[in-house]
Chain A
């Protein structure tokens, strides 16, 4: 069974640009969550989608947004990039409440 797939693996952008990251969940998983990992803040929850609806959102500015498609694939978008947005962005999928979340290998975003 294929795991969670995130593309691209690496991305370099400059301040002010916008970026879109993609996540394909494990087949049959309808919940997709996104996390930001940085050395200073650790792992922080961004948002979670289920059946194309955002059900839960972390404490991030509105520049961070996401969506989920009917096939459960998800994208997250960051607009007006700042240096502090440099991070590893992790996507996770899950079967249901209290079920483990399975993570992809992440997208490493670097802002110059």
Chain B
């Protein structure tokens, strides 16, 4: 089956620090990969996506590269802000509308 494993949190950082959240996947077929972010009391917002190997998704300073050889899609940001505090979810879908999510990583950025 399809599954996503992401690093466990919580992660606590200081402002302007470098953030990386590891994500690996198992999938039958060729998945599309996504990072979603959830702020308190809200639903999920799409942060970035990649649909094929070696694609790099980017948005709001966040980046992730689809690595087929290592089945990974790690999220990175070079300089985090307090406003980046949220829960981050890695997810995949394989030619259907079902998203399989990782457990989520809680990130707290301190001023």
How many chain A residues sit at the interface, stated as a range, is 20 to 34
A66 close to B (CB within 8 Å): no
A97 to B, closest residue via Cβ: B95
Residues of B within 8 A of A6 (CB): 43
Residues of B within 8 A of A58 (CB): 98
Q: Give the CA-CA distance A42 to B46 in the complex, in Å.
A: 17
Q: Give the CA-CA distance A6 to B44 in the complex, in Å.
A: 13
Q: Give the CA-CA distance A68 to B103 in the complex, in Å.
A: 29
Q: Known interface pairs A42-B104, A100-B34, A100-B49. Does A94 touch B97 (Cβ–Cβ under 8 Å)?
A: yes
Residues of B within 8 A of A104 (CB): 43
Q: Which of A34-54 contact B (CB under 8 A)?
A: 35, 42-43, 45, 48, 50
| Contact between B98 and A98, CB atoms less than 8 A apart | no
Least CB distance, A46 to chain B, in whole angstroms: 10
B97 to A, closest residue via Cβ: A48
| Contact between A105 and B42, CB atoms less than 8 A apart | yes
B53 close to A (CB within 8 Å): no
| Contact between B97 and A103, CB atoms less than 8 A apart | no
| Contact between B32 and A98, CB atoms less than 8 A apart | yes
B44 to A, closest residue via Cβ: A103
Q: Give the CA-CA distance A4 to B25 in the complex, in Å.
A: 28
Name the one of B36, B95, B99, B104 contacting A33, with C-beta atoms under 8 angstroms.
B99
